[in-house]
Amino acid sequence: MYLVAENYDCDYDRDKLPHEFLDDIIYIIEDVHGPTKNAVYPLKFFDEIYYLLPSRWTHFNFWLSRMAIWFKTGKFSWNPDLGESGEWQGTDKPFDLRNIIPIFKTFWNDFSNKKQWIKDDLRIIRKSKIPFTTVIPLKIKGRIYFSI
């Protein structure tokens, strides 16, 4: 017997998200806004939560690669509060120097608020009574491994 799994990122795949969940499919939904008011699906929709908790170093490396992609694409920091269904910030012009300072401001805001946001997320998740597991990503020799 095989299980089918479908993976969705609530920032990038909004237009592809399922409206109905089938019993014979495992849905993996990544929503960085999951425990907040900006969640795409309320927590009550989930059977289990895996909370990714990177170290400061792993998180920093993630941000470096993310900032490079944002600069390359000319859009960054998708914001669910902008527009009817959220929107990206930035000039939408690849390698536009005007995006550098806002990208670094976004990085600094996220990096400096990380501890408080994690604390708030975990409080909300615990309160929901949904089973959850903390997952710690590790980068070893250029590969990312997950420890539960």
Q: What is the pLDDT of residue 35?
A: 93
The pLDDT value recorded for residue 135 is 93
Q: Is the pLDDT of residue 11 over 90?
A: no
Rounded-to-integer distance, Cα 91 and Cα 74, Å: 6
Res. 1: pLDDT tops 80: no
List CB contacts of 75: < 8 A, sequence separation 6 or more.
88, 89, 90, 91, 92
Residue 133 to residues 35, 41, 48, 52, 71, Cα–Cα distance (Å): 14, 19, 8, 9, 33
Cα distance between residue 98 and residue 23, in whole Å: 47
Burial of residue 112 (number of CB atoms within 10 Å: 0-12, 13-18, 19+): exposed
Average pLDDT, the chain: 90
What is the three-state SS of 103-148?
HHHHHHHHHHHHHHHHHHHHHHHHHHCCCEEEEEEEEECCEEEEEC
Average pLDDT over residues 10-23: 87
Chain centroid, CA 22 distance in Å: 24
pLDDT in tens, 104-146: 999 999 989 999 999 999 999 999 999 999 999 887 887 888 8
7, pLDDT greater than 90? yes
Residue 88, pLDDT above cutoff 90: no
Q: What is the pLDDT of residues 23-82, one digit of tens each?
A: 899 999 999 889 988 888 999 999 999 999 988 888 888 899 999 999 999 999 887 677
pLDDT for the residue numbered 144: 81
